[in-house]
A and B are shown apart, each in its own frame.
Chain A
């Protein structure tokens, strides 16, 4: 059974710092991995999608990596801003079903 774990569960950092969010999954047979952002009381916004054959994806200040063999992904946020405060969810796609981690609640201190 696929399990997705995100570490840390919560993180507070001063504005301007670079930070890394971690995601691990137990079954490496995935189609892709997707990072989402969720603001309180809102739906999910897709940030980055990494296909199983890819190693990383970049979008602006965000960079996500994927090491399928070790079952790990990281989301790197450069030069963090207060507007980055949100919950970040990692999800793996397999068998037309996606499994979510519990998320990392990120708070950027002004």
Chain B
């Protein structure tokens, strides 16, 4: 089935720095990818929809200048958390859907971000 690779799996950064998370579709092309945030023991919250070759669509309440999304190719989307603060510490997960099949959405393994 479709595979989505997410990197890194864990990252610790200092307050004020920026962190980039990559999401790749390994065996299919994804014109659309999705970025989620998950707080402990909570469900996934959709942050934004990443569109290849155009601007991302952000959900209400998500700061687009804080969470920069770039979808420069059909297999790669990146999420950059800019000027990170401790409250940005969370679990971030990306997903995509293989347009060739009917397997639904495939998720990356997630990135645990800790801002100290």
A-to-B contact residues, CB < 8 Å: 32, 34, 36, 41-46, 49, 51, 89, 91, 93, 96-103, 105
Contact = CB atoms under 8 A, between A and B. Distances in A.
In this complex, the member of A43, A45, A98 whose beta carbon has the largest number of chain B beta carbons within 10 angstroms is A43
Interface in B6-56: 6, 32, 34, 41-44, 46, 49
A33 to B, nearest CB: 9
Q: Is the interface of B mostly helix, strand, loop or mixed?
A: strand
**Number of contact residues on B: which range applies?**
20 to 34
B44 A41 contact: no
Which one of B49, B93, B104 has the highest number of Cβ atoms from chain A below 10 Å of its Cβ? B104
Contacts of A46: 1, 103-107
Nearest to B4: A43
Contacts of A103: 43
Contact of B43 (A49, A89, A96, A97): A89
